[in-house]
Amino acid sequence: MIEEGTKRGKAMVEKRQLFMEMRAQNFDVIRLSTYRTACKLRFVQKRCNLHLVDVWNMIEAFRDNGLNTLDHNAEINVSRLETILSSIYYQLNKRLPTTHQINVEQSIGLLLNFMVATYDSESHGKLTVFSVKAMLSTMCGGKIVDKLRYIFSQISDSSGLMIFAKFDQFLREVLKLPTAVFEGPSFGYTEHSVRTCFPQQKILLNTFLDVLMADPPPQCLVWLPLMHRLANVENVFHPVECSYCRSESMMGFRYRCQQCHGYQLCQSCFWRGHANGPHSNQHQMKEHSSWKSPAKKLSHAISKSLGCVPIGEPPHPVFPEQAERPQELTHTVVLESPSRLDEEHRLIARYAARLAAEAGNSTQQCPPSDLSFNFDANKQQRQLIAELENKNREILQEIQRLRLEHEQASQPTPEKAQQNPTLLTELRLLRHRKDELERRMSALQESRRELMVQLESLMRLLKDEEQKQASQSGGSPHSSPSHSAGCSMPMPIRSTSAGSTPTHTPQDCLAGVGGDVLEAFAQGVPRNLRNDLLVAADSITNTMSSLVKELHSVDDGGDEEEANMRNGGDRGTMRVPKH
């Protein structure tokens, strides 16, 4: 009982902590409710570190936690909401550098208590799925156009038309945010809010964006684009002196009076209604979010007068008038090191082009009888390289998929889950799955390494053959022109005695090797043939076949064949000395 009371007291303290810190910022001195609301919500966003989570990362977190499969009116308890927030912040820390890591537990506590206080005022301990989606997608970081596109995908039908009942539900949920920061009287929900925003009957995506991103936007949501403008100008510097507080520089917004010449106020003085001299708070003020020197203003005015600068730019891109699918990122895959992957693909492509070029040279020098063989060999070679490249790409994708599963399996579990036997069993299964994934990843990496070694060995053999050909010269003086063409069949090797296996010394190791292989290693005039590796391999195969035939025929006509070889020596037959 004492421990439970301690936890309840700690929760109450954390629940009030964010609101106490917000009151300490003294935002209530801002006289305009729009700026006051935007500043308060921006403070909550930064204090909970939601400004570091992009809207696309938030949508991916919804998908990973299964919210995209649930009905909008389905309810989730606080424990599951805590798990969702944990996954969001732990994934955020993985994306941040080690020097900018956030306090995950503190961020979870602050945001969880703020959401419960905003959407569970009656303490039921449950929130609807649509409440969670609307709040997190509105308060996270990212571009406002991306947020509105996601919201439209949640409140439109399959034909791309907005459902007014769902937009009304969205307004109910999102307008609870100003109420949570004590600005409900200015931006509370009313039954006429929907028709005030959209008096039209049919609303498509571009119309939805035009209305909510207009200047000015609908009154009930005027604080939403202002909150994004505040985030964009927080670090903007204006080298101008404030006419009231005499500060020599301004940060954030700058306000220029349209009636008093040269009268400018910083955002702090303008928000608090400060004025002096002939200036009055009733004068019209123009808000500036950047600084331009007088020279830049003059050049811009001249360019605009000459028609070099467009007069007006659309507030958002124009999207196709079709059904906007829910932005759930179901098939999003992120590959690691794309530059490294492209480099490997370029290397393989360069090897393939080189082999194809050498194959083209060889086909130009060989007689027509060998053209079909070279074409088939080069085709097989290209197919082999293409298969190696595809296999390499598949292995990289599989490694990335296993890495993502490994990260999900190793995600920390809240302390409450450690006390649940069912969750403990799931944790053990996840750890077992993690070990299996690691072993499979290692096997895939080893297979990829072996494929790259095979490809490198193939190119090394080709390079060695080219170097040997360049270092040697010409063919044998006893070779006929048909041998120089590299297309004649190798002659049989002379045997010393019937039934014995021929042996060779290192000096005559090339004896009996004919065709392309013999001329590739012979001395004499260099060949024009680029010594295609597959042609050389085929020549060696033919030579070995001739050796087998010679061994089979030596018993029947050894003396006769020897005589024929002697008589045919002047026709280009290579004689092999007896051992």
> 143 or 331: which carries more pLDDT confidence?
143
The pTM of the full predicted model, rounded to 2 decimals, is: 0.54
Average pLDDT over residues 555-566: 46
CB-hemisphere CA count at 13 Å for 135? 27
Residue-wise pLDDT for 288-308, tens only, equals 988 776 556 555 555 655 555
Chain center to CA of 574:
64
Average pLDDT over residues 366-394: 68
Quickly state the pLDDT bin for 472 (edges 50, 70, 90): confident
Out of 10-24, 75-89, 488-502, least confident range: 488-502
* pLDDT greater than 80 at residue 25: yes
CB atoms within 10 A of CB 538: 18
Q: Are 440 and 400 in contact (CB under 8 A)?
A: no
> 145-149, 299-303, 378-382, 533-537: which has the highest mean pLDDT?
145-149
> 269 or 570: which carries more pLDDT confidence?
269
State residue 97's pLDDT score. 93
Residue-wise pLDDT for 185-240, tens only, equals 999 888 888 888 888 778 999 999 999 999 889 999 999 999 999 999 999 999 99
Backbone angles phi, psi at 477, to 5 degrees: -65, -15
Residue-wise pLDDT for 406-462, tens only, equals 777 766 555 555 557 777 788 888 888 888 888 887 887 787 777 777 777 777 888
State residue 163's pLDDT score. 94
Q: Are 388 and 455 in contact (CB under 8 A)?
A: yes
Residue-wise pLDDT for 87-143, tens only, equals 999 999 999 999 999 999 999 999 999 999 999 888 888 999 999 999 999 999 999
CA 383 → CA 11, 16, 362, 389, 453, distances in Å?
A: 65, 68, 19, 10, 18
Q: How far apart are CA 44 and CA 111, in angstroms?
A: 9
Which residues are within 8 A (CB) of 437 and not within 5 positions of it... i.e. 6 or more apart?
A: 402, 405, 406, 409
> 318 or 205: which carries more pLDDT confidence?
205
* pLDDT greater than 80 at residue 24: yes
CA 210 → CA 62, 152, 314, 327, 456, distances in Å?
A: 27, 12, 9, 20, 58
CA 350 → CA 9, 112, 347, distances in Å?
A: 68, 55, 5
Q: How far apart are CA 488 and CA 519, in angstroms?
A: 11
* pLDDT greater than 80 at residue 561: no
Q: How far apart are CA 130 and CA 75, in angstroms?
A: 9
| Dmax (CA) of the chain | 129
Residue/partner pairs of 149-152 with CB below 8 Å, 24 or more apart? 149/205, 149/209, 149/319, 149/324, 149/327, 150/55, 150/59, 150/326, 150/327, 152/205, 152/208, 152/209, 152/324
* pLDDT greater than 80 at residue 507: no
Quickly state the pLDDT bin for 399 (edges 50, 70, 90): confident
* pLDDT greater than 80 at residue 374: no
Residue-wise pLDDT for 175-191, tens only, equals 999 999 999 899 988 88
Kindly give the interhelix angle for 421-471 and 533-567, rounded to the nearest 10 degrees: 40
Average pLDDT, the chain: 75
State residue 393's pLDDT score. 83
CB atoms within 10 A of CB 166: 17
State residue 407's pLDDT score. 76
* pLDDT greater than 60 at residue 538: yes
Kindly give the interhelix angle for 129-139 and 33-47, rounded to the nearest 10 degrees: 100
Out of 118-132, 370-384, 488-502, least confident range: 488-502
> 451 or 558: which carries more pLDDT confidence?
451
State residue 513's pLDDT score. 42
